[in-house]
Structures are given as C-alpha cells and as structure tokens.
Amino acid sequence: MGDWWTPTMMPDPSLDTKELSSISGISMSPSRQNLHHSLHSTMALPKTSYSVLSAFCTEENISQCIAYINQEVCSLGLTGVSLESKSGSLSAVPVLNLLYEVLQLQRRAQRALHELETQQLKNGSDLEHLQHSNCRLKDQLEHTRRDNSGLHEGERQLQLKIKTLQNWLKSEKEEVQKLQSIISSRATQYNHDTKRKERECTKLKERLNQLLMDKRDKKLCESFQMSYFCILCLHLCSAIEISNHVGRSDGKRGLWKTGKMEARHEGEMYRALLSDYETRQRSLMMENSELKKVLQHMKKDMITILSPKKPCIKTEPANDSLEQAVSEGEEEIGDSSRETLEQSCEQAREQLTNSIRLQWRKLKSHMERLDSQASLVACQEREGEEMMSRKEHEEEMQRMRMELQQCKEFIHMQQQLLQQQLSSPCDEETAALLNDCYTLEEKERLKEEWRLFNEQKRNFEQERKNFTEAAIRLGHERKAFEEDRAAWLKTQFLNMTPFVDRKRPALSEPHSALSVGECP
Amino acid sequence: MNFSEVFKQSNQLCKVSPDGKYLATCVQYRLVVRDFNSLQIVHLYTCLDPVMHMEWSSDSLFILCAMYKRGLVQVWSLEQPDWHCKIDEGSIGLVSSRWSPDGRHILNTTEFNLRVTVWSLCTKAVSYIKYPKACQKGVDFTADGRYMALAERRECKDYISVFVCDDWHLLRHFESETQDLAGLEWSPNCCVLAVWDNCLEYKILLYSLDGRLLSSYSAYEWSLGIKSVAWSPSSQFLAVGSYDEKVRILNHITWKKITEFEHPATIINTKAVVFKEVEKRPVVGSEDLSIHQLTVDNSLFSTQSKYEITQLPAQVPVIKPDPDRANPKIGISALAFSADNRFLATKNDNMPQSLWVWDMQRLSLLAVLEQTAPVRCFVWDPRRPRLALCTGNTKVYLWSPAGCVSVNVPVEGSFQVQSLFWHCSGSSLVLLSKEHICLCYMEAEEEK
C-alpha cells in the first residue's frame, strides 16, 4: 500500500528523535508492541491513525508534503492540489476532491482485488474439481484397462478352446471317414465272398438236383423194366396220387397254353394297371378340382377385401393399388368363367396360381400399409392431443375419483343403516327384551321418584301436622294468656280502689293506665 | 364274453375256414373239422404222419396237411370225405407247402429250395419253378388271386417272376435292384409290389405290376435296415419298420416318406394314453386253502389284472439287446394296420412288453399298452378297430379306441394263451395255448 515515506529526504532537525524513531518504528512491519510503543511514545496524539498522518505531515513540512502528494497523485493520474500561498494553508476543496478521488481509486482497487479474490477462489475450486475428476478418470481408465486385459485373456482362452474343439472335430470326422471306408471295403469283401459261396451253393444244388433226377430216371427205368404193365410211382420220386381230379374252382374248362393266351394275360395285366391308374387319377382330379374351387373362392374373397368399400381412403398410393386391384379383379372375374371351361389347361392353371399369388401379395402389402397407418395415426393422436387431453384427462380422473369416494361413503353409510335396520327387526325377541329393559329402567326410575315423592309428601304432611299442632297449641296458649291477662287486669282493677292501703301506692300509677283502659 | 370249452391241438395248427363256417384243428395225426358255431365234429381225417402244416383252400372245400419229415402232402375234401389226395415229394424233400389262390393247385417248395413244384388237382399238369429264393417271404399272391410274385436268385442276382395263377404262365421276369432280397408283398389293390432288401441294407423298392420300377426308398446307410413291412388295407400307406426303432410311412402317390413314428423310452406326447397292466393278487385267508378249493377254483392262482392309466411323462421298460449277437432284439418286428385303415399297431423288440398304437388320421401316437410280460401276438379284428393281444399268460387283452380290458380265460387248469386270431366275422377269437384251443365269443356291446 504505497511506500512509507521515510523522511530521509527532509531530515528535519526540529523533529524529535523520538518521533523519528516512532516513524521508523511504524515504517517497519508494525507489530503491536511497536504500535503500542509508538502510541505510548507519542502520548500527545490521541488516535492511532492520526499518529501516522501526523508522522508524515507536520506544520513545518506542509509544502514538501503537498509537493510529494502532488508527485504521487500525478503519477497516479489525478489532479494535484495547489498551495494557496496567501494564507499558507491548503484549500479544503481540492484536498477533499483529491481525497475523494483517492478513495475512489482505493475502492476500485478494492473491488478489483475482491474480484480477483473470487476469481482466485473459483479457479481454485475448478482446479480442485478438475483434479478430482482427473483422479477418477485415471482410476476408471485403470479399471477398464484391467477389464480389457481380463476379457482379452478370456477371449484368448476361448479361442484356444475353439481350436482344440475344431481339431478334435476334425480328428473325429477323419475317424468316421476311415471307419466308413473300412466298412465299405469290408462290405465289398463280404459281398464278394458271399457271391462265391452262393455260386458254390448253386453248383451243389444243381448237382443234387441232377442226382435226384438221375435216381428217379434210373428207378423209373428199373421199375419199367421190372414190371411192364404197371408203371409204379415209387417212393423215391415225387408223384401225386389223387382219387379223382377235381373240377376247376370257377367251373370252366382249362384252356390250352397258346400265344393268344399270353396276349390275353398281358392284356389283362395292363387292364388291371390301367384301371388302378384311372381310379387314382379320378380321385386326384376330384381333389384337384376341390382345391381349385377353394382357391377361386379365396381369390374372390381377396378381391372383395381389396376393393374399396368406403368412400374415404387413407393414402394416395393405397388408392392407386386398390384401383389397380379392382380393375384386375374385374378382368379376372371375367377370366374365371373362361377358366372353368378350360380346367385342365395348363395355362389356365398357371394363370389361376399366378393371379392368386398376385392377389395375396397385394393383400399382404395392403395389410402392412394399414398396419403402419394405424400405428402412425395412433402416434399422431397420442402426440397432438397429449397436452390438452392430459389435463382434461387428469381433471376427469380427479372428478371421477371424488365421485367414487362420495359414492363409496354413501354406500358405506347406506350399508350401515341397512345393517342396523336389518339387525334390529331381525331379532324381535331381543328387541322386545331391549325395549322391555328400557321401559323397566324407566319404571324403576319412576318408582324411585315416586318413592322419593311419597317420602317427601309424608315429610311435608308430618311437618304440616306439626305446624298445625303448634298453631293449635299456640292458639291455646294465647287464649290462656289472654285469660290470664284478663284475670290479672281484673284483679288489678279491683285492687285499684282508694280504700286500698297506702301500702300499695306504687301499683296504682301503672294500673291507672290499665284501668283507664279497661274502664268501659 | 363267453368262452367255449377247450379242445386239443398240436403244433398250433388251428385254422378257421375262409367262409367262417368250420374250424379245423390238427391233433398229431388227425385232422378234426368242427362246425364253428356248434363246435360239433363234422369230419375226422387221419394222416400218415404228424401234421406240420395245415391250410384251408380259398373256397373252403379242401384242406391240405403237409408232413415235412416224410415229404408228404395230403389233401382232404369236405364235400366228399372219401376223396383223398396224396402228394409225395420223395427224396427231394419238402420244406413248405401252400395252396394257390384258386384252391386247385398246391405249391411245394423242396428242400434246399431247389425248386417249387406246382401240383394241380384238376389236371395232371405239373409245373416246376427253378431257383426260388430262400428268404423271409419269397412268394406272395395278389389279393384277388390272379398273380403270384416269386423271388428268384440266379448267379448271385435277385430276380422277380410274376406268374399268372390261372395257368402258371410267366408274365414278367425282371431283375430286382436289391442286394439280397428279403421279402416281397403285393399291395392290397394288386398293382404294386413292394420288395425289400435284407437287414444289411435299408432299401425298399416298389415295382408296378408290369415290372417297372416305380420308386426306391432308403432311409439310411450302414446300420441294420428293414425289419418288417406292412401295407395299409387301402394301399394308401406302406409302413416300414426298421432296426432303428422307427416306423416310416410312405404314401402311395409319391412313394416318399410322409412321417416317421419313433418309439422313445420316455413318452412325453400328451395326447397319447399309456395303459399299464397292473396285477392284483387276491388275498387268501388260511381257511380257504382246502384241497377242494385248490383244485377246482383256479382263481386262487390266477392273478387278476386291470389296466391303469399312467401319468405322462411315462417310462417304457427297455431291454438292451446283446450287441454281439446277430439278429439283435431291437427294432420294429411287427406291424399291423387295422381293417379300417385308421390305426397301426407296432411292437418294438427292445420294448417287448409294450405295444404301440398309432392314429393314422392324425399320424401321431394314440396309445401305449404296457403289459407285465412280453407281447407274443397281436391281431386286429377284421371288421372293427379292435385289437386283441396275448402275452403268454392266462389272459387275453383287448384294446379299442374306447379303452382296453384284460380278460382272464376261465378255463380249468391254466390256459396260457400263446397265440390268437380272429374269426373272419370279428365276432369271436380263437385262443391257442401250447396244446389246446379255446374260443372266445365277443358280445355285441362295447367293452370298457
């Protein structure tokens, strides 16, 4: 904060060494002790701030101070103050202006400092954050590197496994081929051997046959020689002994074997074959015609499905295809009549199958288009009315929920009441009992009250009796008293004569009243 | 259900005449012909040797009895009991003998399959067919009896000869594309001949009547192939059962596979019903064990059983075959279509106690019957969709779409049903045990 001015430029001898030392003390990093020391040393000055200022500027070096201040201020770019030589004192205005400007500077500097500080903090936190993320990313990288290496390892092992399996498979295949070749070679060998053995066997059979035939011939010859008249069929040769020949099973006579017979047989055989083929062909034709009919129906149905039923059609391309289909359909309906005529014609058959295929493809594409359109429309609907409908939807939902709640409560209440209703009349006995018990209670209460009431009544009666008795007594007593009084008065009156001894003078005066009274 | 009394038979030789009127049984040397309804003996014939094979002629007028050891075939007439016929093959031996469809010719296959001799009962003509093939099913007649297909093998190649049964004229002779023909079968409509290879190669060929190859089908290579084949009665389907435990159904229009039926060990299909036979032994109190009771009342030893419906998923008992032996007991060994073409019954050899019934309309599994013993024989009713089966115990089991029932054969002693077959009217069953037969008359109403 600026350089402390050390008054080395202007050594003022008038300055006390104490003051100088104090200044120098302040110019050094002012520790509290020094400050206190300076404070103590300059006891004359009341405030600390003043002590600094007073150290800088005194009565004597005003001009130098001003000059210095002007210098400094100029260097800062502010207007200096001038010294009014007349009075030898500074005018307050420029000084205050200067001061204000200096304060402004100071404030700006402060602000800048503050900003720099915040910036510094921000940078610090950013740096911290970046460091953290850097660490994390490094860790992640490390981790992924490790995973990668692990996976590589696994892959390598699997590759090895694959290789071994492939090798094994190859070896197995080779073995199989070897075995097959062995089998085939053995088979040929066996075939050859069996053929050889078979040839031997046939030779033996031939020989045997020959021998047997020879034997038979010899025997026949012998027998012929033996007996001229009877040709005996000896036991050694094969012969049939039949009592009488049987007629043929079909009753007809046997026919001679001639070429005609052979031809007839051939003819019969072919006839049999032909009839079989004909029956088969007939059944296949029937099946074929049935299938054709089914296909025709299918085609007609498809045409009707593809033809536009409603006036509005969704999209342009669909329209075109439909029109096309309709036109083709019309053509084909015309064709079908021709087709029925030329059923067996191959062209017609191909035409039918081709047209069916075409229709089917069209139907398929139409269906796909419809599907996509439907999904699109559904999407659009959903998007367009999403904002509006959701709110409304929500409100509706809310309203419905409220209604539902109300209804539920209502129902609940109703149910309770119903339950009560049902529960009370259902047990009449208990209800009666309950009723009874309620009335009983009341009865009891009433009884109680009656009792009380009666008691009180009795009490009152009693008291009244007492009172009347008392009144009677009182009347009696009063009467008695009155009689007494009357008697006394009488006596008094009688005693009031002058001829009464003066013995009783006192009595006379009061009696006089009485007597007056009583004298009628 | 009523059961008749028991009659003796030997060699499981008991056949009903094609017209359903008579029942012929062989007891050692004797041939006993009974009226089917009354079971009275109508005729009694005596042969020269114990009869090994007996067959009715198609018009129910003649019966042939073949005695392979002696190489003799004797033919008996029902109309004329005095009439007799004896065919002696001599030292050439006899391996099999059968009627021709017209009932007037007998085809004898000689030993070592050297030749097939066609003896006529009407004329003195004798025909020989050389090089017949010795295989599972080398000869088949068409259903209408007009043609006969015979498998031949010359110079290590398979051939098929088609003969006209009228006069044994060779109609067609063509090479078959099989490696080693195992069997052939005409379709019920008589126009297609199915020919299949032996189990080392899965191949089934379809030839038309005139010898053209219509189609060939092979499901897979190398593994053991076809085990059994069956035509559906309408000729619409051809069911091929193979060693991989699957049945493949081919259709008659394209001769391609339309579906395959699997026989898994765990049944998860929720539409199928699994019937499990459950035996319940009657509890016997000690006071019941009297000699009288034991001898007369055989119900003590015979266990009652009934069917219970098992919850799904159900496990089917599997017996793993021995992999080192030939002809392993695995794969579909028996297929049978019902008469109305709606059902197919199959038996998988490594699940011997189970019988699978498939619905041909929906082409899915309809029911599985799990028995307590391996299924020995199963036959469809020729009129109705009703299946009869036996497992070698004293019960006969019946399945129909309504449900299934197990019936104990109420015969004195124990009658172990080894095989059975239906009467052509579908109103009765003939049950065969080792030495006896018993008839079972069905009632008109439906069972459980």
Query: For residue range B104-114, what is the model confidence (pLDDT) as tens digits?
Result: 899 999 888 88
Segment holding B358, helix H or strand E: strand B354-359
Mutate to test the interface with B, among A197, A265, A288 (most CBs of B within 10 A): A265
**Cα(A245)–Cα(B165) distance, integer angstroms:** 18
**Cα(B396)–Cα(A380) distance, integer angstroms:** 74
Chain segment B242-274, per-residue pLDDT in tens: 999 999 999 998 899 999 999 998 888 778 888
Closest-CA distance of chain B to residue A281, Å: 10
In sign, the C-alpha dihedral spanning A413, A419, A421, A424 is negative
> Does the pLDDT value for residue A1 go beyond 90?
no
Chain A positions touching B83 (Cβ under 8 A) are: 243-244, 246
The pLDDT assigned to B74 comes to 92
Closest by Cβ to A273, choosing from B82, B167, B209: B209
Domain ranges of chain A: 61-231
The pLDDT assigned to A38 comes to 47
Beta carbon pairs, A and B, within 8 Å = 118
> Does the pLDDT value for residue B440 go beyond 50?
yes
Degrees to nearest 5, angle at CA A515 with A513 and A519:
130
- Residue A188: closest CA among chain B residues belongs to which residue? B179
Amino acid present at B431: L
Closest-CA distance of chain A to residue B260, Å: 24
Most confident of A29-33, A168-172, B291-295, B320-324: A168-172
- Residues B269/B365, Cβ–Cβ less than 8 Å: yes
> Which residues between 282 and 301 in chain A have a beta carbon less than 8 angstroms from any beta carbon of chain B?
284
Strand order of the β-sheet with B72-77 is A239-242, B84-88, B72-77, B62-67, B53-56
Give me chain B's average pLDDT, please: 88
Which residues share a beta bridge with A240? B87
Which residues fall within 8 angstroms of residue A239, CB to CB, at 6 or more apart?
A233, B87, B88, B90
DSSP 3-state of A67 = helix
In order of their start, the domains of chain B are 1-130 (2.130.10.10)
Give the distance, in angstroms, between the CA of residue A15 and the centroid of all CA atoms in the same chain: 90
Chain B positions touching A272 (Cβ under 8 A) are: 146, 190-191, 209
DSSP 3-state of B159 = strand
Most confident of A170-179, B74-83, B406-415: A170-179
Inter-residue long-range contacts of A353-357, CB under 8 Å, 24+ positions, other chains counted: A353/A295, A355/A299, A355/A328, A356/A295, A356/A298, A356/A299, A356/A302
> Does the pLDDT value for residue A53 go beyond 60?
no
- Residue A211: closest CA among chain B residues belongs to which residue? B92
Lowest mean pLDDT among A111-115, A129-133, B220-224, B244-248: B220-224
Closest-CA distance of chain B to residue A268, Å: 10
**Cα(A214)–Cα(A220) distance, integer angstroms:** 10
Chain segment A271-308, per-residue pLDDT in tens: 988 998 899 999 999 999 999 898 888 888 888 877 76
The pLDDT assigned to A8 comes to 46
**Cα(B295)–Cα(B285) distance, integer angstroms:** 16
> Does the pLDDT value for residue A94 go beyond 80?
no
> Which residues between 170 and 209 in chain A have a beta carbon less than 8 angstroms from any beta carbon of chain B?
180, 183, 187, 191, 194-195, 198-199, 202, 205, 208-209
Inter-residue long-range contacts of B81-86, CB under 8 Å, 24+ positions, other chains counted: B81/B43, B81/B45, B82/A243, B83/A243, B83/A244, B83/A246, B84/A242, B84/A243, B85/A240, B85/A241, B85/A242, B85/A243, B85/B121, B86/A240, B86/A241, B86/A242, B86/B48
**Encoding tokens for residue A425?**
């009349």
Closest-CA distance of chain A to residue B351, Å: 29
Amino acid present at A300: K
pLDDT band at A54 (very low <50, low <70, confident <90, very high): low
Percent of chain A residues past pLDDT 70, beyond the cut = 67
The pLDDT assigned to A234 comes to 44
Which residues fall within 8 angstroms of residue A205, CB to CB, at 6 or more apart?
B112, B113, B114
Chain segment A492-507, per-residue pLDDT in tens: 988 887 665 555 444 4
DSSP string across A488-518: HHHHHHHHT-TTS-TT--TTHHHHHHHHHHH
Most confident of A169-178, A223-232, A368-377: A169-178
CB contact under 8 A, B156 and A239: no
> Which residues between 15 and 54 in chain B have a beta carbon less than 8 angstroms from any beta carbon of chain A?
none
Which residues fall within 8 angstroms of residue B246, CB to CB, at 6 or more apart?
B219, B260, B261, B262, B263, B332
Chain A positions touching B109 (Cβ under 8 A) are: none
The pLDDT assigned to A313 comes to 41
Q: Beta strands B354-359 and B139-141: pairing type?
A: unpaired
The pLDDT assigned to A24 comes to 46
Lowest mean pLDDT among A356-360, A442-446, B249-253: A356-360
Give me chain A's average pLDDT, please: 76
Q: Is B444 on the interface with A (CB under 8 A)?
A: no
Rounded average pLDDT over B217-243: 92
Which residues fall within 8 angstroms of residue A277, CB to CB, at 6 or more apart?
none
Closest-CA distance of chain A to residue B67, Å: 14
Chain B positions touching A280 (Cβ under 8 A) are: 253
Classify residue B167 by its DSSP letter. T
Segment holding A222, helix H or strand E: helix A92-226
> Does the pLDDT value for residue A70 go beyond 90?
no
DSSP 3-state of A249 = coil
> Does the pLDDT value for residue B50 go beyond 60?
yes
Segment holding B15, helix H or strand E: strand B14-16
The pLDDT assigned to A338 comes to 52
Could you identify the residue written with the tokens 């619409």? Answer: B236
Which residues share a beta bridge with B172? B162
**Cα(B208)–Cα(B174) distance, integer angstroms:** 11
A366: how many CB neighbours lie within 10 A of its CB? Answer: 17
The pLDDT assigned to A427 comes to 60
- Residue B59: closest CA among chain A residues belongs to which residue? A249
Chain segment A242-280, per-residue pLDDT in tens: 877 777 766 666 666 677 888 888 888 889 889 988 999
Q: Is A219 on the interface with B (CB under 8 A)?
A: no
Chain segment A100-110, per-residue pLDDT in tens: 888 888 999 99
Closest by Cβ to A243, choosing from B85, B123, B189: B85
In A385-427, which ranges are continuous DSSP H helix? Answer: 386-426
The pLDDT assigned to A213 comes to 77
**Cα(B188)–Cα(B233) distance, integer angstroms:** 6
**Encoding tokens for residue B331?**
């794969």
Mutate to test the interface with B, among A205, A220, A244, A249 (most CBs of B within 10 A): A249
Chain segment A379-390, per-residue pLDDT in tens: 888 776 555 667
> Does the pLDDT value for residue B296 go beyond 60?
no
- Residue A281: closest CA among chain B residues belongs to which residue? B253
Percent of chain A residues past pLDDT 90, beyond the cut = 30
> Does the pLDDT value for residue A22 go beyond 60?
no
pLDDT band at B5 (very low <50, low <70, confident <90, very high): confident
DSSP 3-state of B171 = strand
Mutate to test the interface with B, among A242, A268, A279 (most CBs of B within 10 A): A242
Which residues fall within 8 angstroms of residue B230, CB to CB, at 6 or more apart?
B238, B239, B241, B335, B336, B337, B344
In B187-298, which ranges are continuous DSSP H helix? Answer: 291-296
Length reported for chain B: 448
Closest by Cβ to A235, choosing from B90, B208, B253: B90
**Cα(A512)–Cα(A489) distance, integer angstroms:** 11
- Residue B61: closest CA among chain A residues belongs to which residue? A249
The pLDDT assigned to A27 comes to 46
pTM of whole model > 0.90? no
The pLDDT assigned to A151 comes to 97
Closest-CA distance of chain A to residue B304, Å: 49
The pLDDT assigned to A426 comes to 52
Please report the beta strands in B48-203, taking only residues with DSSP state E, as ranges in sequence order.
53-56, 62-67, 72-77, 84-88, 96-99, 105-109, 115-120, 126-130, 139-141, 147-154, 157-164, 169-175, 181-186, 192-197
Which residues fall within 8 angstroms of residue B7, CB to CB, at 6 or more apart?
B25, B32, B34, B39, B436, B437, B438
Q: Phi-psi category of B108—alpha, beta or left, where left has phi over 0 and alpha has psi -120 to 50?
A: beta
> Does the pLDDT value for residue A35 go beyond 50?
no
Q: Is A216 on the interface with B (CB under 8 A)?
A: yes
> Which residues between 231 and 270 in chain A have a beta carbon less than 8 angstroms from any beta carbon of chain B?
233, 235-250, 254-255, 257, 261-262, 265-266, 268-270
Cis peptide preceding B313, ω within 30 of 0: yes
Rounded average pLDDT over A436-461: 88
CB contact under 8 A, B126 and A240: yes
Q: Which residues of A464-493 are buried (b: 16+ CB within 10 A; e: fewer)?
A: eeeeeeeeeeeeeeeeeeeeeeeeeeeebe
CB contact under 8 A, B87 and A209: no
A431: how many CB neighbours lie within 10 A of its CB? Answer: 13
